[in-house]
């Protein structure tokens, strides 16, 4: 039973692609919705966790400002994590070319 789990987990891994964020495919073929939700959850999760840590330290030390510093640290940390997972940049694969810019090549046939 234990070996079957290991084989199943190893079969799903993408060798050579590095770690991906939870819920986001390695080839980003599922659009930006999952990546956006992952970025949102990293940032909100960071704010909640570090605000709670700041609140606890405020309670212990009798201060009031550490909870705000924790919220800011959590937001920055969440954005940093999402950036390091490659969720905030629009990288193009080798060979992908952006859409052509400028006027269309069909001339004025569609102009009214």
pLDDT-based confidence at residue 75 (cuts at 50, 70, 90): very high
pLDDT-based confidence at residue 14 (cuts at 50, 70, 90): very low
So what's the pLDDT on residue 13? Answer: 46
pLDDT in tens, 33-49: 888 899 999 999 999 99
What's the mean pLDDT when you consider all of the chain? 75
- Rounded CA gap, 83 and 74, in Å? 14
Do residues 46 and 74 lie in contact, with contact meaning Cβ atoms separated by under 8 Å?
A: yes
So what's the pLDDT on residue 49? Answer: 97
């Amino acid at each position: 039973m234990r070996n079957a789990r290991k084989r199943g987990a190893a079969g799903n891994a993408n060798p050579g692609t590095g770690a991906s964020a939870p819920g986001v495919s390695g080839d980003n073929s599922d659009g930006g919705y999952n990546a956006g939700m992952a970025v949102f959850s990293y940032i909100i999760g960071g704010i909640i966790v570090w605000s709670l840590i700041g609140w606890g330290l405020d309670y212990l030390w009798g201060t009031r400002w550490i909870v705000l510093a924790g919220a800011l640290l959590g937001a920055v940390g969440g954005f940093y994590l999402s950036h390091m997972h490659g969720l905030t940049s629009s990288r193009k694969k080798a060979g992908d070319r952006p859409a052509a810019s400028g006027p269309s090549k069909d001339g004025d046939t569609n102009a009214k």
